[in-house]
A and B are shown apart, each in its own frame.
Chain A
């Protein structure tokens, strides 16, 4: 069970396969873990893509049920997670990579594209999270109940007051769109993007389609793509095609 360590941050990650690197960000909100890929996702990228790519996924820092830990970065919640994503790629000696993120992976991908655009060759946002005006406090409420209490229980250095401040900064301070970037950023982002929309409360279809229509090099899967099991392979084939078309030629690496 490999770990990447940097200061007081310790990130558990797993990898499978070889080839051009594909970073996978599991869904599950702040409880996003590698183990979750096998149990709660429509498909498991570690299984689907390890024949062609070096697939890497990590437990989110401080996710309940995961093995990653680190400080609660109250002043920069999104960026602290992105530090971990980029730091892990550095640790593995990876420069350019592709990224596939579920749910909370959507906002993380936009943050990665903002912080390290030249390293991200292509990005896939599967059932991405986003702000839903009719349920403006959804993420704060979900996490203050589902993430904060177990974290405080196992981490004496973390209080619910800190969790409250962290979630306020993460979800209430910039309660719009994809949380991490502006519409102008998306409009100017030339990176190839594939969006697989969803429409549960935390994954608004409207935001998924708005980002797909704004981003100048975006495309979108069929929708719905996971309401019946027979549609999921269609979406996976679209993803596989997208990865193949966008990975750099071996000579260029």
Chain B
């Protein structure tokens, strides 16, 4: 069970397969873990390890995960993005593709903002976003489903800290995809494939707004997971998208030979 460590941050990750790197960000909100991928509509490890180097990590401080680190109260989104980019650095990976479920949507936009030259293509699947008719949904969910358990196992963490963290993460950024502005999305030239959803935390309206704003975006069929027979159609779309956007094999082999 490999770990990436940097200071007091310790991130559990797993990888499988070889080829162009594909960072997978599991869903599950702040309780996003590698283990959770088994309960997702499909498991990217199973689907893509035959062609890609698939990497996924437990989110820092996720319940049921093995990753730990400080509660970065002043920069919640960026702290997680530090971990994603730090893990890629640790693995010696420069450019990569990213596939993120749920909370992986906002994380992807944070990655594109922080490291746009490293993220070659991105797939937000059932992405999270702000829903005006349920403005405190993410704060409330995590105050109940993430904070108390974290405080119970981490004496250095209090519910007051959790409140501040979630306020900075969700309440103070209560719009769109939380992490990036519409202007940023409008100017983002990276190829994007969105697989919309429409449960409370995954608003269809935000998913489609992103798709229409981003100049190089495309979208899957919808709905794509209401019946099991449609999921393979969406997975084939993703596979096609990854194949079309991975860095050229010749460039990779030249780089490998140089090493």
Chain A residues at the B interface, C-beta cutoff of 8 Å: 192, 212-213, 217-223, 230, 234-235, 237-238, 241-242, 244-246, 249
Q: Give complex CA distance A192, B241 in Å.
A: 13
Q: Does B244 contact A (CB under 8 A)?
A: yes
Given contacts A242-B244, A245-B240, A245-B241, 13 further A-B pairs with CB under 8 A are A192-B240, A218-B236, A219-B233, A219-B237, A220-B233, A221-B221, A234-B218, A235-B218, A237-B217, A238-B237, A241-B193, A241-B241, A245-B239
Chain B residues, Cβ within 8 Å of A213: 229-230, 233
Contact: B236 with A217, CB < 8 Å?
yes
From A192, A234, A242, A244, contact of B219 by CB (8 A): A234
Task: Please give the distance in Å from B22's CB to the nearest CB on chain A.
Answer: 15
Per-residue 0/1 for B37-70: is the Cβ within 8 Å of any A Cβ (1 yes, 0 no)? 0000000000000000000000000000000000
Counting chain A CB atoms within 10 Å of each CB, which of B211, B216, B218, B229 scores highest? Answer: B218
How big is chain B's contact interface, by range?
20 to 34
Determine chain A's interface SS by DSSP, over half rule: helix
Chain A residues, Cβ within 8 Å of B236: 217-219
Task: Please give the distance in Å from A203's CB to the nearest CB on chain B.
Answer: 16
Q: Give complex CA distance A177, B245 in Å.
A: 35
CB nearest neighbor in B for A228: B212
Q: Does B184 contact A (CB under 8 A)?
A: no
CB nearest neighbor in A for B121: A241
Task: Please give the distance in Å from B144's CB to the nearest CB on chain A.
Answer: 35
Chain B, range 162-196, C-beta contacts under 8 Å to A: 191, 193
Q: Give complex CA distance A189, B191 in Å.
A: 29
Counting chain B CB atoms within 10 Å of each CB, which of A213, A235, A238, A249 scores highest? Answer: A238
Q: Give complex CA distance A235, B220 in Å.
A: 9
Task: Please give the distance in Å from B215's CB to the nearest CB on chain A.
Answer: 9
Chain B residues, Cβ within 8 Å of A212: 233
Q: Give complex CA distance A76, B23 in Å.
A: 53
Q: Give complex CA distance A219, B221 in Å.
A: 9
Q: Give complex CA distance A242, B243 in Å.
A: 9
Contact: B233 with A222, CB < 8 Å?
no
Contact: B244 with A245, CB < 8 Å?
yes
Contact: A241 with B219, CB < 8 Å?
no
